[in-house]
């Protein structure tokens, strides 16, 4: 399935940062953004089959960035739920 119908790269809005936070990026925030962005991009370009391999890489990256196992699992779960909702919404849109 090509998710290109639901992905809108122009919808992304950067988060404003204070001068302090811009100087020292938070590795947890970077890992979270990387996990979410990578999942959605891979799913959009390669389809759901590629997401499984990406999950393993995302877990490794998150743990290397200092995220706890619980934080990593929570982020992956949230990302997968977002992806599943997009698939469901796309299928419901096609059915109408």
pTM metric for this prediction? 0.45
Whether 64 maps to a domain, the answer reads yes
Report the pLDDT value the prediction gives residue 6, as an integer from 0 to 100. Answer: 47
> How far is Cα of residue 89 from the mean position of the Cα atoms in its chain?
17
Query: In which domain, by residue range, is 90 found?
Result: 26-95
Whether 15 maps to a domain, the answer reads no
**Cβ–Cβ contacts within 10 Å for residue 39, how many?**
21
Q: Count Cα atoms within 13 angstroms, Cβ side, for 91.
A: 7
Report the pLDDT value the prediction gives residue 18, as an integer from 0 to 100. Answer: 52
Give the model confidence (pLDDT) of 51-86 as tens digits. 777 777 777 888 888 888 888 888 888 877 887 788
By CB neighbour count within 10 A (0-12 exposed, 13-18 middle, 19+ buried), where does 81 fall?
A: exposed
**How many domains is the chain built from?**
1
Record the tokens describing residue 5, joined without a space: 């119908």
């Amino acid at each position: 399935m090509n998710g290109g119908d639901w992905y809108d790269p122009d919808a992304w809005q950067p988060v404003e940062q204070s001068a302090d936070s811009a100087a020292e990026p938070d590795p947890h925030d970077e890992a979270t953004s990387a996990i979410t962005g990578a999942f959605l991009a891979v799913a959009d370009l390669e389809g759901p089959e590629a997401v499984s391999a990406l999950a393993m890489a995302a877990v490794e990256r998150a743990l290397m960035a200092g995220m706890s196992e619980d934080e990593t699992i929570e982020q992956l779960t949230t990302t997968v739920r977002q992806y599943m909702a997009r698939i469901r919404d796309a299928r419901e849109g096609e059915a109408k």
